[in-house]
Amino acid sequence: MTTSTNGVFDRRPLIAGNWKMNLDHVQAITFLQKLAWTLDDANHDFGRVEVSVFPPFTDLRGVQTLVKGDDLPVVYGGQDLSPHESGAYTGDISGQFLKRLGCAYVLVGHSERRTLHAESDELLNTKVHAAYRHDLVPVLCVGEGLEIRQAGTHVEHTLEQLRRGVAGLDAGQAARLVVAYEPVWAIGTGEVAGPQDAQEMCAAIRAELGELFDGDTAAKIRLLYGGSVKAANAGSILKERDVDGVLVGGASLDVSEFASIVRFEQHLVTG
Ligand SMILES: O=C[C@H](O)COP(=O)(O)O
């Protein structure tokens, strides 16, 4: 089964918008209302293609109130979490807090956390486990920098991040996992890994997950691509067999652009 020719997906596609440090708690409400109206007007089938946003922590209470109050079919998550439950960890946010705010997902190991906050694979593995303790689905981000890509060792580098990130999970946990492949050289740069590059890495990730767990489990795990995704390229990336969604940064801050990515099936070549 492929995603390109018959509109049937092996896994439910997930279109995720990572707002990073953009949109304050007032802007978040306006943005989300507009997004929901736009998708409603377009008769978007949320059951078919899942839509998630990752707002800053300070927006989450407002987002929760809006989503609950207006019964919006959008899900949301935190951009990071602490590996700890509570205590003297100034500035950190626990998985318990995120769960109580209605989060379904949490990003773990986004490249900006890995590089700007020196987060190691070992730390990220403890965050993955913390997410499961609070019934949050981790979106584990992996991917190589430019030098590694140019050296041709990007697959092994990314698989090593994956192995360390998922260490100690059981198959039941792994089946719910989401992995986002984000080549660092393509983030916020306008450079996009080609659909074949995204497929090559996602296929390698799925094969590795099959080795680490089992084939049935690996077949359930959703793999996203992230890095300069826009409406104009989302369709071609999402045609690839092992790409189950996209993690969108800059383009997720524009309602019509993000809604158009969510409606990527409109851009798929069928037949
Ligand atoms: O989390 C999203 C990624 O960092 C991609 O960001 P971007 O779409 O602005 O390149």
37 lies in some domain: yes
pLDDT at 2 (0 to 100):
37
Ligand 1 centroid to residue 187 C-alpha, Å: 5
Going by the annotation, the residues of the binding site for substrate are: 18-20, 188, 228, 249-250
pLDDT at 119 (0 to 100):
98
4 lies in some domain: no
Going by the annotation, the residues of the binding site are: 18-20, 188, 228, 249-250
Q: Collect the ranges in the chain with pLDDT lower than 70.
A: 1-8, 267-271
pLDDT at 5 (0 to 100):
40
pLDDT at 1 (0 to 100):
36
234 lies in some domain: yes
pLDDT at 192 (0 to 100):
76
Query: Could you confirm whether 110 is annotated as catalytic?
Result: yes
pLDDT at 271 (0 to 100):
40
Closest protein CA for atom 7 of ligand 1: 249
Region for residue 135 given its phi and psi (left: phi exceeds 0; alpha: psi -120 to 50; beta: otherwise): left
In whole angstroms, what separates CA 167 from the centre of its chain? 19
For ligand 1, residues with CB inside 6 Å are 18, 110, 182, 187-188, 226-229, 247-251
pLDDT at 4 (0 to 100):
42
8 lies in some domain: no
Ligand 1 centroid to residue 32 C-alpha, Å: 19
Strand positions, DSSP E, the chain: 14-18, 50-54, 75-78, 105-108, 137-142, 178-181, 222-226, 245-248
pLDDT at 269 (0 to 100):
52
217 lies in some domain: yes
Q: Kind of pairing, strands 50-54 and 178-181?
A: unpaired
67 lies in some domain: yes
| Parent domain of 190 | 14-267
ipTM greater than cut 0.85: yes
What is the number of structural domains in the chain? Answer: 1
For ligand 1, mutation pick of 106, 185, 247, 258 (most atoms within 8 Å of CB): 247
**Beta carbons of 66 and 33 less than 8 angstroms apart:** yes
Choose, from 144, 182, 240, 265, the residue flagged as catalytic. Answer: 182
Query: Could you confirm whether 182 is annotated as catalytic?
Result: yes
**CATH code at position 204:** 3.20.20.70
pLDDT at 268 (0 to 100):
65
250 lies in some domain: yes
